[in-house]
Amino acid sequence: MDYTPHTDEDIAQMKKAIGIASLEDMFADIPEKFCLKRLPDIPASLSEQETMALMQSLSLQNRLPQMTLTGAGAYHHFIPAVVGHIINRAEFYTAYTPYQAEISQGILQAIYEYQTMIAHLTGTQIANASMYDGSSAMAEAAILSAKTLSRDKIIIARSVHPEYRAVTRTYCWANGYEVVEIPFNQSGQLDLPVLQKELAENVAAVLVQSPNFFGGIEDIVPIAEAVHAHGALLVAGFTDGTALGILKPAGELGADFVVGEGQSFGNSLNYGGPYLGIFAAQGKFLRRIPGRLVGATVDKKGQRGFVLTLQTREQHIRREKATSNICSNEALCALAAGVYLAALGKNLQKLALLNVQKTQYLKKQLLQLSGWKEVFAAPVYNEFVLSCPDAGKVNDKLKKEGIVGGYELQKDYPKLKNALLFCATEMLSKEDMDKVVAIIK
């Protein structure tokens, strides 16, 4: 079927309204050398039926993996059917934020419930309506800290996800802030003595991750004490939120901000996105945190209602005076997370324990292989690092069997040669893990 968005009459009216004689006049500012002289050699159009047949034939060429052993910031978790059922309803199915917010009571209530659950899980008083992803959430927390304290130095642990560190460096570079990385110790955790030496009066924030990029659980309390002793703020991040089912929340351990990736909460891997940035904070930062906050109130009849309570720091209101220039949120992804958490409830703890058990089993079995060794001694959640005789060869062999292997750490940490970061979630059965070990053996 044909589809023409504008008729000749429509086009004529538009040209008259903006005062141009031809469509070419709209592109007069583009240098001649960049303008196409003729259309590229584009194949003839297909009918709807032919297009669907072509796309289906192309999809059959995909070789989907049988299982994945890779985490490193994106995790394969089971998603209950109720999540897809809710987020695919027509009244919710939009990736963008409603601007006439108060007429969208359904999505506002969903976001309010999401904020409440996130604040509870992270041990904080407030959480915003979500952000783009975990890396931008951490970077926003760093910038907020620097502006709040009028300091110009950010310290970040090298055990933080490499992409989070890269995004934070970019944000800080744009704002003129210095970034210093703190190494990890032999246990794979932040080196506290080195941190204490680096802390100074110009440090605005220290950024850590727990579980960190190696799966190791950081000891937040002494880090928080050291940071606060110098008047700085502590930002605690995470990449797999299911760990919050068993770990004591960083907000209760002294973190000023808890940020991270919410993909594990009911959002599929999606080839890398869209994902869900989680941003939670202590109450004193209520009027400074970026993004949006939904609040509950009552109308003039006394009926409960929901409103977009705070968005005053956004670019369309305060522009260059804003703490942050982020102006949207991941509404659909946040809705998925809210439905997921509501569906699991206290079973999130059981899920987290299952992840721990799977992790320990896989690690134990792999360590029985000749030449395989544990790299770090820190307690882990659902990821761990092992060294092996040849990491590339291991992954090549697994790939031939339709298995996505461990993450090769050498590309981000050159000294960790032949070190693989493995991840075991509830999606791996005992038979799956035994098969992996047998293939490698």
Please check the confidence at residue 35 and state whether its pLDDT lies above 90: no
Q: What is the mean pLDDT of residues 284-305?
A: 90
Kindly report, residue by residue over 171-189, the tens digit of the pLDDT: 999 999 999 999 999 999 9
Q: pLDDT at position 1, please?
A: 47
Q: What percent of the chain stands above pLDDT 90?
A: 78
Please check the confidence at residue 310 and state whether its pLDDT lies above 80: no
Least confidently predicted of 152-156, 235-239, 322-326: 322-326
Beta bridge partners of 126: 281
Q: What angle do CA 5, 332, 56 make, to 5 degrees?
A: 60
pLDDT grade for 38, boundaries at 50, 70 and 90:
confident
Q: 71: Cβ–Cβ under 8 A, 6 or more apart, which residues?
A: 215, 239, 240, 382, 383, 407, 421, 422, 423, 425
pLDDT grade for 12, boundaries at 50, 70 and 90:
very high
Kindly report, residue by residue over 326-351, the tens digit of the pLDDT: 767 788 999 999 999 999 999 999 99
What DSSP string runs through 246-261? TSPPGGGGT-SEEEEE
Considering the domain 81-344 in this protein, what is its CATH number? 3.40.640.10
CA distance 434 to 179: 43
**0.75 surpassed by pTM:** yes
